Chains A and B, each alone.
Chain A
């Protein structure tokens, strides 16, 4: 078990691409941290630097109390689960799981015991003598997990481990991985581009964008207090509504001149209003009017899509509130509105 500390870690690939700009953060012992961001934002690069599969261009990386910049992957006391499982195709499931232990001079009877234990935990007992090619995607995923957990490492690294599975299996494995991590208490770093995975699994989320850390926080902080327009629009499904507006002396005016009311803020000029769809209430009178064009029926709730101030706007309503398309009045709790700088996109 260990904490992980990055001090101004930066990565420039030999071809000149700066995949990760100088980043610092600390992951506490036993924490489950999810690195999330769109494809190409440098998540894998960051993870692979922690694993030792990629050189660190600048800065220091500590696992436990040890600087590991120049330590081989095998000596970092980590285990990694890859997106395409990366099982050894010529070895049986048993050998796949045991390989890392064997090379660490673990006694044979202990290997036997640990493999049996892991196989039991992961429901792999019947498949131990099979080759990976004889397994389904979900089973291969489990073998990859098994290979990681038998090692008893200080740190688990996951690189989009669920993205090759179908949606149903993905939901199931998501819960299993989280439960397993809880049980084992091993510090984990999990990379995904799926914000649902990030929200549901993480103790803390690190949002990356273009090789830069946009925000670090608990799922709730990230969701309710996004640090930038990027985080606001990336996290949450449906995403936060972002509306251009102007503030003069606390009075908010939308782009088409509609007045939204007053806000307690010192901000002036052009801003973006960030409003979560579920923070919007339908009211019978006295609100801002909106024309609902489309209703998405989702069972437990509905999403109403319309335009506010000439920009797309989504409202989340619970299933027992009847709504028809057409003109409606809405009101928003001022405390639930996030203000962003119109130019930089940063939170005001």
Chain B
């Protein structure tokens, strides 16, 4: 087979250059710096640094505060991933039943996706405002004295809620298009074979959505771990001390507020390893992904 090619080997390199430069400046260089500084102890006033080997890492593992944040991040990620996938799937199934292919509805639901995380966080702040936030009032109506930013659990709940809300549209769109790509006749065959709608969902629809589901699972874990930074920042602004935060937010708090550059670098290296692991996992899944015909 004849392949289209470039006449000189410089041409492709030139074409790749802008992308490579951006990756190098914004990813490889800082990543390299983080790895480097994770082995040093930074003088709090920025006057110098001492090589401490793996001490930053061992400190982290022994640190109960770090373990507490890690545990919260785990719980947070599980909750956000589970609820944003489950609710989106439910909405997608309902929407698919009512209007196969109606565009306007999809676009409307997609709007939330366009909201930037800090803005989503800010909307959360308004919804949970102490004196007039509608959700605070709603909670109050049920006898729940909701105090955002003061009570750990309340703040955590708001964080999960806003993060889930922000992620549902993406999942919804993917699930809906996944549902609509299931051939009509396969659904109809199931309609004849199985009288129960729930049975049909679990036996036919859900397995056929599995490839979409796996893909979204990874996307959602990554989202909960990293992309919720803006939401966390807005919701706990000023008071990180007693409030729940995620590992990514702690990197920022320790590094830029606490000036512990070494420790925060070690934390970010750990997160990098986590991303790497997730990526490998995802590629494996895509490799093995079942292709239905």
A interface residues, Cβ below 8 angstroms from B = 51-53, 72-75, 78-80, 82-90, 99-100, 103, 132-133, 147
Contacts and interface: CB of A to CB of B under 8 A. Distances in A.
B179 to A, nearest CB: 15
Interface of B: 183, 185-186, 188-196, 199, 203-204, 207-208, 210, 290-293
Given A88-B204, A99-B203, A103-B195, A82 B293 contact: no
Contact of A74 (B183, B192, B204, B207): B192
A88 B189 contact: yes
B183 A84 contact: yes
A214 B199 CA distance: 42
Contacts of A85: 185
Nearest to A148: B192
A72 B195 contact: yes
Contacts, number: 68
B238 to A, nearest CB: 51
A128 B166 CA distance: 45
A99 B194 CA distance: 8
B290 A90 contact: yes
Given A53-B192, A103-B193, 6 more contacts: A53-B191, A87-B186, A89-B208, A89-B293, A90-B207, A100-B194
Contact of B188 (A53, A90, A103, A147): A53
25 contacts: A52-B191, A52-B192, A72-B191, A74-B193, A78-B192, A79-B192, A80-B189, A82-B185, A82-B189, A85-B185, A87-B186, A88-B189, A89-B186, A89-B208, A90-B207, A90-B210, A90-B290, A90-B292, A99-B194, A99-B203, A100-B193, A103-B194, A103-B196, A147-B189, A147-B193
Q: Determine which residue in A84, A87, A88 has the highest number of CB atoms from chain B within 10 A of its CB, and name it.
A: A88
Contacts of A79: 192
A86 B185 contact: yes
B192 A89 contact: no
Contacts of A75: 195
Given A86-B186, A88-B186, A90-B208, A80 B292 contact: no
Contacts of B292: 89-90, 133
B290 A74 contact: no
Given A86-B183, A86-B186, A103-B199, A74 B293 contact: no
B190 A88 contact: yes
A269 B199 CA distance: 65
A79 B194 CA distance: 11
Q: Determine which residue in A83, A85, A86, A87 has the highest number of CB atoms from chain B within 10 A of its CB, and name it.
A: A86
A306 to B, nearest CB: 46
Contacts of B194: 74, 99-100, 103
A75 B196 CA distance: 11
A99 B192 contact: no
Nearest to B195: A74
